Amino acid sequence: MIVCVVRIQPAGGTQMSTFTGNVIILTGASEGIGRALALALAPQKPKLVLSARNRERLESLAGECHAMGAECLAVPADVTDEIQCRQLIRQAVDAFGRIDTLVANAGATMWSRLDRLEDLGVLRTVMDVNYFGAAYCTAAALPYLKQSRGRIVAVASVAGLTGVPERTGYSASKHAMIGFFDSLRIELAESGVSVTVVAPDFVVTQIHRRALGADGRPLGETPMHESRIMTAERCAALIVDAMAGRQRLLITSRRGRLGRWLKVLAPGLIDRIARKAIEKKF
C-alpha cells in the first residue's frame, strides 16, 4: 500500500472540478480502461483508491496520478474474494474517511464457441470477476455511498445488452452486471446514490490478450484489429463525462446504440450484426 499526497492547483472550469477532493475507488485500475480512467481523473485532484491484482503496475500508476495532482492509495486486491473486497473498502475509509464514487471496472473475458470449450471453468472465472467482483465491492461500499449520496459506476459492455458469439460466458456475466445495477438503481431511488452503467464497444486494452481460450488458458495475443476500435483513452473520457452527469447509461458506439433498438425491432438483424463483428474482429 502507498499513499501519495500533492498540492497542485486545478486546471479550472466547472467540468474539471467535479471530482476535486472526491474519494473514488477504481477496480481493475492497473491497465486498459481502468488505467486510462485514473489518468483522466487525476488532474481534477481527487483522492484515488486504485485497486487491481498487480502491485507493481498499481504503484507505477499511483506515481503518475500523484504527479498529475491526485492523492493516491494503491490497494492490491482480487475482486473474486469477498473478504478482499471488504478490506479494499475498509482501507479506503480508513485513509480518507468516506467514499464518494465506486467504479466497478475489473474485468475478464473469453474467446471460444461453447461447443469447443474444453474447460467449463472459464465460465465461472469470468462470472466471478465481472459479476461477483462488482457485486461484492458494491455491497461493501454501499453504506458509505449512502452517507455521501455518491456515485456507482459499473463498467459493463455492449455484450451485456445483446448476445455475442464466441463470448457466451463474457456476455452472460455482463448481462448479469447490467441486471444487477439496473435493479440496484431502483432500490436506491430515494437515497441520492446514482448508478451509471457503462457499455463500451470493443476497446484497445490488454484484456483481449488475457482472454481465456477454449483450453482455459490466456490467448497471449489479441484477436482484435486494434487499429479499427476505440482507444482506452477515448473511452475513459466518455466515462468521466457520464460520471460527472450521473448519466443512467453510456453506450460508447453508434453500433451499440443502434443494436439496443434493433434487438427489439429486428432481433434477427442484430444477431447477424453481432456475428459479423466477431468474424471481422471489430
- For 19-73, what is each residue's pLDDT tens digit? 999 999 999 999 999 999 999 999 999 999 999 999 999 999 999 999 999 999 9
Whole-angstrom distance, CA of residue 6 vs CA of residue 212:
40
Q: Reply yes or no on whether 170 is catalytic.
A: yes
The answer, as to whether pTM is greater than 0.75, is: yes
- For 253-269, what is each residue's pLDDT tens digit? 888 888 888 878 888 88
Whole-angstrom distance, CA of residue 218 vs CA of residue 213:
6
Cross-sheet strand order for the sheet of 249-251? 3-4, 71-76, 47-52, 23-27, 101-104, 151-155, 194-199, 249-251
Least confident piece of the model among 45-59, 144-158, 220-234: 220-234
Q: What angle do CA 137, 139, 140 make, to 5 degrees?
A: 65
* Superfamily of domain 3-280 in the CATH hierarchy: NAD(P)-binding Rossmann-like Domain (3.40.50.720)
DSSP class of 194: E
Cell of 84: 478482499
DSSP class of 110: B
Which of the following is catalytic: 131, 136, 144, 170? 170
Where exactly are the structural domains of the chain?
A: 3-280
Q: How many C-beta atoms lie closer than 10 Å to residue 13's C-beta? A: 9
